[in-house]
Amino acid sequence: MKKELLFKLAAVLTALMLSCSALSGCGKDKETVPAETSDEGDTTVSKFDAENKEEKPSTADPKTVAATPAKAGGSVSNSGSVSGSAGGSGSNVSSAEAVSRSALSDARSFFEAGMYDDAEEMLRSVDPEYLTDEQLDTYYMISDSLSNRAGAQSESQKEFTAEEAISAAEQRYGVSIDGDPSGLTPQTDSSGRQYYTMQVAIQSENRRVTINVYSDGEIEEVSEEPLAYG
């Protein structure tokens, strides 16, 4: 009897110990896991919520980028660089070059045609800076010729006198011309040359000629007639 009671008591104690062990394990499973603090604010989430939650991209505050102001005629790209440039003067240079070369061509045409005033006027529109070496030679040739011509005309208009005209005629025909030089009146031809008109009797040739004596030394015979008939 006593042995049976001891076995039953041992069995009951064993059952109690197993029951307590089971209850202790369940208690551990039900323990609350400490809450974790996220990086965003003070919000707390459970461990299981954190594992099931989808990762979201970082929403960092966008930084403000100051774009460099574009210059006139340019545009600004997304990186702040400037493209384009303010208008250039290449077209102006080309235009000035074309004007100078065209004016030189016209001046040469007028000069060769004997239209000296027009040639001089066109030459004033030429800027030597835009000419080639060959064109510069033409420019200075025309310029110097016009200057020399103008100087010669000015000098002849100021200094050519009736006495000088008579002297030139006497040397040309080998005669002596009598008369008052004050009776001769200076005239000017279409080229701007001064001249005097006079008559010269040439006894050796039995003729009287009417001549024009020009300031540049030219003597033109206008008409002639015999001194005596028979």
What pLDDT, on the 0 to 100 scale, is given for residue 149? 82
Torsion (CA) 73, 77, 82, 88 in degrees, nearest 10: -30
Q: Mean pLDDT of residues grouped by 10 in the chain (230 residues)?
A: 66 70 52 49 47 49 46 42 41 76 92 90 90 91 87 64 93 88 89 91 91 93 84
| Phi, psi dihedrals of residue 49, rounded to the nearest 5° | -65, -40
What pLDDT, on the 0 to 100 scale, is given for residue 76? 39
Count the alpha carbons within 13 Å of 210 in the hemisphere toward its beta carbon: 6
What pLDDT, on the 0 to 100 scale, is given for residue 142? 92
The H or E element containing residue 198 is: strand 194-202
Neighbour tally for 52: CB within 10 Å: 9
What pLDDT, on the 0 to 100 scale, is given for residue 190? 87
Count the alpha carbons within 13 Å of 4 in the hemisphere toward its beta carbon: 1
What pLDDT, on the 0 to 100 scale, is given for residue 45? 47
What pLDDT, on the 0 to 100 scale, is given for residue 13? 74
Q: Residue 147 CA to chain centroid, in angstroms? A: 33
Instruction: Name residue, tokens 């110990």.
Output: 17
pTM for the full predicted model: 0.35
Q: How many residues does the chain have?
A: 230
Distance CA 65, CA 102 (A): 54
| Phi, psi dihedrals of residue 99, rounded to the nearest 5° | -65, -45
Distance CA 87, CA 83 (A): 13
